[in-house]
Amino acid sequence: MSKKIKVVTIGGGSSYTPELVEGFIKRYDEFPISELWLVDIEEGRHKLEIVGEMAKRMVEAAGINCKVYLTLDRREALKDADFVTTQLRVGLLEARILDERIPLSHGLIGQETNGAGGIFKALRTIPVILDIVEEMKELCPEAWLINFTNPSGMVTEAVLRYGNWNKVVGLCNIPINAVYEEAAILNEKPSDLFFQFAGINHLHWHTVVDKNGVNRTDELIKKVYEDGEANSIVANIKDNRLIFEQVENLHMVPCPYHNYYYYTDKMLAEELEDFKNHGTRAEKVKKIEAELYELYKDPDLNYKPKQLEERGGARYSDAACETITSIYNDKRTTMTVSTRNNGTIKDLPDDCAVEVTCTLTGKGPIPYNFGSFKPQERGLLQLMKAMEELTIEAAVTGDRGTLLQAFMMNPLITSGDVAKQVMEELLEAHKKHLPNFFQ
């Protein structure tokens, strides 16, 4: 009799969970999951019940031999797990609204994973993830942790550096979406191209080579800019502001989030206009989520609805399922994930987390060696990695001085006096979820 496979999803009441379930269903032949445990907290009980019942309908409709469990008891769920996925949001969407609203009210970028908001999402998330890791050491010491909680790179590094847990993979949907979008631009199948990504989460670059060994990167850049303005693959970034000459000189394709650093003024102006007329991005997401949960209540709905794509984060959950399947079967799928650097990028510390193209094996990700960046990429990359290291340290220690240093280094926080004021306001706003800063 084959071993039962147990997967635990922490943040199981997430609106993304139906995509995760769909991913396991379509891979059942190679990954015969027998138990899926969806875990949430008391505040998320209502969503967990809605999503959980829908997950049960999806599994039943697919005719697979998998039992779905719903629980608020994390320890019960983690016992003897094979894989643990994390898709949690500490403080729920209300916390994200504060992360965006408070910086914007001071004329700073207000964004979920960048600038002041991104720092505070990390501060709230990292202690919770490290608590989960400690429970995994006790209850499922052989399990893999597959994280797609943002900021994914910082969370992954915290697990490696402070959790001393090596069986972790960090995921982001930006590289996955780029592969599909850019293959279409080049009129190729994704499987006929090799994309090499290198950098850190939400700050990476990549090149594209076809199956004949021809570098197609410059051709791709020209095609992207043919209409004079490159479209973005990110739901909350309207379009690409990077000028053609800049990208052409890189001979690499930058991540859409580079817009925040190279065109801060334009991005801020757009955000402030949206904020004035429509509220924050988080408030829009909250409305979309409310509509999704109403859909999920339909007792006849037993498949992932198309409206989920409007939520942003498309292909996240599918990437998680492919990562798990590849590790389980030593499948050696090529994917871009966050993992320990170990010399892959020479410009960054060996023990930090990087987001790079890897082969996913039974022993985890094996990165493709990248080497060194040119100065035009290296400068920003090293600055942001140092800022991440300070943020992670502050999250673990609760040291306000360390946190202030992270704020002062971040290019999206432009004034020392404003930095201190925004930092203090966000600390007070999130006091409930940041106990180590208030001891």
Residues serving a catalytic function are 257
- Which residues are CB-neighbours of 96 under 8 A, at least 6 positions away? 89, 112, 117, 121, 280, 282, 285
**Annotated binding-site residue? 236:** no
Q: Is the pLDDT of residue 227 over 90?
A: no
Supply 14's token pair: 């997430």
Q: Is the pLDDT of residue 233 over 90?
A: no
Match 């009980």 to its residue by tokens. 45
- Which residues are CB-neighbours of 300 under 8 A, at least 6 positions away? none
Architecture of the CATH domain 6-170: 3-Layer(aba) Sandwich (3.40)
Average pLDDT over the chain reads 93
Match 């580079």 to its residue by tokens. 258
Q: What is the model's pLDDT at position 32?
A: 97
Of 338 and 225, the one with more pLDDT: 338
**Annotated binding-site residue? 27:** no
Nearest to 197, CA basis, from 223, 224, 222, 170: 170
Write down the domain spans for the chain. Answer: 6-170
Residue 180 and residue 188: Cα distance in Å, rounded?
Answer: 9
User: pLDDT tens for residues 163-198?
Assistant: 999 999 999 989 998 999 999 999 999 999 999 999
- Per the CB < 8 A criterion, the answer to whether 180 and 193 are in contact is no
Q: What is the model's pLDDT at position 308?
A: 77
Cite the beta strand spans of 227-382 per DSSP E. 253-254, 333-340, 353-361, 364-367
**Annotated binding-site residue? 352:** no
Confidence bin at 34 (pLDDT 50/70/90): very high
User: pLDDT tens for residues 145-156?
Assistant: 999 999 999 999
Point out the least confidently predicted range of 77-91, 129-143, 260-274, 331-345: 260-274
Cis preceding-peptide flag for 127 (omega within 30 of 0): no
Rounded alpha-carbon distances, angstroms, from residue 349 to 36, 378, 392 = 37, 13, 15
Confidence bin at 394 (pLDDT 50/70/90): very high
Q: What is the model's pLDDT at position 366?
A: 98
Q: What is the model's pLDDT at position 1?
A: 40
Point out the least confidently predicted range of 44-48, 219-223, 338-342: 219-223
Q: What is the model's pLDDT at position 439?
A: 84
**Annotated binding-site residue? 172:** yes
User: pLDDT tens for residues 276-322?
Assistant: 998 898 998 899 899 999 999 999 999 888 777 666 556 777 789 99
First to last CA, the chain: 52
Query: Residues 266, 267, 272, 275: what is their CA dihedral angle, to the nearest 10 degrees?
Result: 150
Percent of the chain's residues with pLDDT above 90: 83
Phi/psi region, residue 326 (left: phi>0; alpha: psi -120 to 50; beta: rest), is: alpha
- Per the CB < 8 A criterion, the answer to whether 34 and 6 are in contact is yes
pTM: 0.94
Q: In which element (H, E) is residue 237 found?
A: none
User: pLDDT tens for residues 330-381?
Assistant: 999 999 999 999 999 999 999 999 999 999 999 999 999 999 999 999 999 9
Match 């052409």 to its residue by tokens. 248
Supply 271's token pair: 């955000």
